[in-house]
Structures are given as C-alpha cells and as structure tokens.
Amino acid sequence: MILPIDLIVLVLVIVSAVAAITVKDLLSASVMLGAYSFLLCLLWTVMGAVDVAFTEATVGAGVSTVFCVSAIFHTTRRTKD
C-alpha cells in the first residue's frame, strides 16, 4: 500500500459518499454512487485485493448503477432532500 495514494483515495471516497446522499437529484445521486464504487475499486487495487477490485468494478459500479438508473427511469428523479 502506497500511503499518499491511499489517503487521497480515502478522502475522495468520503467526499463522493457525502455527495451521493446530499445532492438534490436522484439521477445525480446514483451517478455519484457509481463514482463512489469506482473509487472503492481503486482503493481495493491499492490494498492488493485485485479480485475484489474487479468484482467491484463490474458488479458494484456497473450493474448497480444500471439498476439505480432504470429504477429512477420507472419512478421519478425529483426529491426533497
């Protein structure tokens, strides 16, 4: 683990998690969740867990973003909080 890369990625992970729950639009929230998953994928790679990293990239970031976007397509993207 390279400590500077690890610290930068950890800060970006926290920022994108907070952005995903504070943004006032559900489509933006799900896109931020996808960015959060890709940053976690980077974090697993830094920590040497390569198998977890590519599972996170395909299943966590890819499929769950598609799920969220299709659910919002079937409902609404407006939210109060």
Partner 1 sequence: MELIETVKHMFLFIAAKANYWTYVILLMVGLYAMIAKNNLVKKIVGMTIFQTAVILFYVSIGYKKDASIPIVMHGSGHGHAADAAIRAADYINPLPHVLMLTAIVVGVATLGVALALAIKVYKEYGSLEEDEIHKQLRSR
The binding site for partner 1 (CB under 8 A) comprises 1, 3, 6-7, 10, 13-14, 17-18, 20-21, 26, 29-30, 33, 36-37, 40, 43-44, 47-52, 55-56, 59-60, 63-64, 67-68, 71-72, 74-76, 79-81
First and final C-alpha spacing in the chain: 37
| Shortest Å, Cβ 19 to partner 1 | 10
Minimum Å gap between C-beta 45 and partner 1 is 10
- Six-digit token string for 60: 């966590």
- Residue 18 CA to residue 31 CA, distance in Å, equals 13
Handedness of CA 51, 52, 53, 54 (dihedral sign): positive
